[in-house]
Amino acid sequence: MPLFGNSFSPKKTPPRKWASLSNLHLLDRSTREVELGLEYGTPTMNLAGQSLKFENGQWVSESGTFLGDRRELQRLRKRNQQLEEENNLLRLKVDILLDMLSETTAESHLMEKELEELKQHSRRKK
């Protein structure tokens, strides 16, 4: 038996009341969507004066100006292809230049080593 009694004895918490006083959980799904605003519709955005909407996983223009867009898109794709080919060519050239540089460096180190050996050999003969 403790001398001063048990100093920590928490009271039992009362049982909780009903979780929600709202009756929205009793409504069917369609009514809840209307009441709570769960129907968002398709996402739309305005980009450079062009209105776009997201449909079937792609952004589609809402305005009917597809001819200008398609021509511009074809021109940009062609330019992109040209730039990718040029980039690949430049990468190939850089790889060849690095190979040539490493080969020249290796030859230079070998020549320096041979020259050093010849100097040491000539010193021994003297």
With b for 16 or more beta-carbon neighbours within 10 A and e for fewer, the 4-40 pattern comes to: eeeeeeeeeeeeeeeeeeeeeeeeeeeeeeeeeeeee
Domain count, the chain: 2
Higher pLDDT, 17 or 77: 77
Do residues 23 and 33 make contact, with C-beta atoms less than 8 angstroms apart?
A: no
Condensed to tens digits (0 to 9), the pLDDT of residues 33-60 reads: 777 766 667 788 887 777 888 888 887 7
My answer on whether 86 and 106 are in the same domain is yes
Domain end: 46, 65, 84, which one?
A: 65
Tell me how many helices (H) and strands (E) the chain has: 2, 3
Domain end residue (candidates: 65, 90, 112) = 65
Residue 46: which domain range? 27-65
Give the tens place of pLDDT for each residue, 91-120: 999 999 999 999 999 999 999 999 999 999
Percentage with pLDDT > 70 across the chain? 76
**Mean of the per-residue pLDDT values for the chain?**
81
- Is residue 51 within 8 A of residue 43, CB to CB? The reply is no
